[in-house]
Amino acid sequence: MATKMEVEETGPAPPDLERLYDLDSYLKPFDKEIKRRYRCFLDVLDHINQHEGGLEKFSRGYQYFGIHVTEDGGVVMREWAPGAEELYLMGDFNGWNKTSHSFKKLPFGKWELVLPPKADGSCPLDHLSKYKLVVKDKNGHLLERICPWAKYAIPSDETKIYEATFWNPPEKFVFQQTRPKLPSSLRIYESHVGISSWEGKVADYKHFAYNVIPRIKKQGYNCIQMMAIMEHAYYASFGYQVTSFFAASSRYGPPDDLKLLIDMAHREGIVVLLDVVHSHASKNVLDGLNQFDGTNACFFHDGSRGMHDLWGSRCFDYTNWEVLRFLLSNLRWWMEEYRFDGFRFDGVTSMLYHSHGIAHGFSGDLGEYFGLPTDSESLTYLTLANHMLHELYPDCITIAEEVSGMPALCRPVSEGGNGFDYRLGMAIPDKWIKVLKEFKDEDWNMGDIVHTLINRRHGEKTIAYAESHDQALVGDKTLAFWLMDAEMYTNMSCLSEMTVTVDRGLALHKMIRLITHGLGGEGWLNFIGNEFGHPEWLDFPRVGNNSSFHYARRQWNLVDDDLLRYKFLNNFDRDMNLTENHYGWLATEQAYVSSKHEGDKVIVFERGGCVFVFNFHTNQSFTDYRIGCDIPGKYKIVLDTDDPAYAGHSRLDHNTEFFTEPIEHDNRANSLKVYMPARVGFILAKQGDTEES
């Protein structure tokens, strides 16, 4: 991945709004507001170029702030604490004396402290030594604080409060691999290091690198999305209550172990995304950013705007110059120091609206997105962040966790968009859960399912998924659990008779994932373990469950046991991804749905040169069923949920050749006849001279 050394200080050219309006002419009435938002972005960018030497320099705040070893072996530490009256450093190096080492006050709320080397010329702070900042507030109180730029934080054995730990190993980690090329089709494996072992413990980076990455590679995924990496004091927060933004979580091991993990993923050709949380921050005071300088503001809005009522966390002030530097530098830090390949931005909907999206229903009326409810300041930050990342790292991937459907969010900044590459298709898993909870199989509405899968903004790419970590959490159920529930404990052995419940569950699990994979977006996401139908929910150790790790793990032993049926779902997931890798439907235009027959419970669509066929009928199979097909030729089955390798009943013959006829059907120029067993989905691919039979 090439890196530009400088962003053009003259700024980007005027946006090509005509391109945006060509994609969606209904945006034209909001031309004035779209231009105003772009000007807000330009104003900030111009200010950075004029006063900070450009984005490239401005976003390297981590090289200036925090603690750094100087050329003579000493250290220099700089902080931004505008509300502090005085600032001190204490730690192992000075016997935890609170006021012996004071900072010098600089302009604009900044502070600096220089410590000379020891008498022998060595660094005054030992590797892994602890240190804290002491803030004297306006009332004369001495407040202990953690450094906002700390690169490593470890909880105290006595208090369990996280403390900044000086990371200065004698040997620096050296990456061996280059970043992989940007995949044309993104197949994401959403992961959490801590739960990645089958044992009841917090797994570490090395365990994930050596044991889970080979599984991910084998399953045909080309991207890992890593959750809960940014340090968070409360494990059960799933990483969404960040306390130290520049520190990789120490509970999984030291920083170099995370670098090893990423290097090993790159060796396998897998890109790695960080689940970055810039939408809010933990309200922890002693080991977080909250009230860092002794005031209620600093990094956050003061008053009610600075609190997220639903999450109980603090909300950043994106208009503050040093907050912008802090957050943009945070993105650069993860890209430069750890070589991540991009980000999944958490809580984007919460950022976009003053309501944080709470009790905010979106009807689809475009006026809802371009009025006063939208938080323009947050939107400007997101646009600036995407502009910076894509200018400096052309192959960088950014994904927005965004449910409202904000127009142009996933269009380039050069078109007046906000620069994200993808948004998550968050309505899709909700629809599948609703269907399984509220409807009998025979009452499934084919049109409603198809509408949910294709209901996305044209020209704005979506990551589709049938379920993610949200559906795996305690209080909800995974798809496998909704389908098979208690029988997953009693009837998943290959030595036992296949029950009606398990047979149905296995069949629908495969069909739901395949139709979502093929129809739902321009990328695919799976949460760790769901590929084999993980039987239980996810619940982190906490007071409410007696600090149990029983549900905070992934039971690989189940899928590795050849006598259990979990292997069949795992096999299907692998072959589904490998089939996509061959035909590349995710990288093509949205599918054409030729049939959604309510009575027959049949859905047929074409994408990427393939014809996808689904029969969701509970008991009715169809022979010589005519389906539309635009491209004439010879077709063969290349993937089939009824294959015995996936616990199917082998009702389809993969040696059969299907020839199209010039008979118009379902608004397609050609058609062909197929056998369509009940509860089966399969893919037909056109065969050419170079195709394998």
Q: Are 354 and 360 in contact (CB under 8 A)?
A: no
Instruction: Report the run of H or E that residue 35 belongs to, with start and end.
Output: helix 31-52
What is the distance between the alpha carbons of residues 195 and 552, in angstroms, rounded to a whole number?
5
Crossing angle between the packed helical segments 500-519 and 446-454, to the nearest 10 degrees:
40
Q: What are the CA-CA distances from residue 312 to residues 278, 304, 612, 614, 654 (Å)?
A: 15, 11, 45, 44, 55
SS3 of 383-395: the string is HHHHHHHHHHCCC
Selection from 540, 527, 596, 531 nearest residue 559 by Cα: 531
User: Residues 6 or more apart from 95 whose CB is under 8 A from it?
Assistant: none
Measuring CA to CA, which residue among 5, 13, 12, 6 is closest to residue 45? 12
Tokens standing for 245?
């933004």
Return d(Cα 629, Cα 170) in angstroms, integer: 64
What DSSP string describes 306-373? GEETTTTEE-B-TTSHHHHHHHHHHHHHHHHHS---EEEETTHHHHHBTTTTTT----S-GGGTSSTT
Active-site residue among 190, 287, 341, 346? 346
DSSP string, 193-228: GGG-SSSSS---HHHIIIIIHHHHHHTT--EEEEES
Residue 577 amino acid letter: N
Measured distance CA(525)–CA(547) in Å, rounded: 30
Residue-wise burial string across 231-253, b where 16 or more C-beta atoms lie within 10 A, e elsewhere = bbbebbbbbbbbbbbbbbbbbbb
Helices 321-337 and 376-392 pack at an angle, to 10 degrees, of 30
Identify whether the C-beta of residue 71 lies closer than 8 Å to the C-beta of residue 410: no
Q: Report d(CA 424, CA 220) in Å as an integer.
A: 20
Kindly report the number of other CB atoms within 10 A of residue 214's CB atom.
12
Would you call 401 a catalytic residue per the annotation? Answer: yes
H-type alpha helices, 126-254 = 205-207, 213-218
- Beta-bridged to residue 281, according to DSSP, are 314
> DSSP character for 178?
P
**Catalytic (active site) residue 443:** no
Rg (CA), the chain: 27
Of the candidates 405, 485, 446, the residue with the CA atom closest to the CA atom of residue 600: 446
H helix runs in 156-312, sequence order? 205-207, 213-218, 255-267
List residues bridging with 111 in a β-sheet: 79, 105
Residue among 424, 310, 281, 308 nearest 375 (CA) = 308
Order the strands of the 658-659 sheet from edge to edge.
592-597, 602-607, 610-615, 680-687, 634-640, 658-659
Q: Decide: 454 and 590 in contact? Cβ < 8 Å.
A: yes
Tokens 């029988």, residue? Answer: 487
Residues 6+ apart with CB under 8 A from 365: none
Options 401, 402, 573, 580, the catalytic residue: 401
- Annotated active-site positions, please? 346, 401
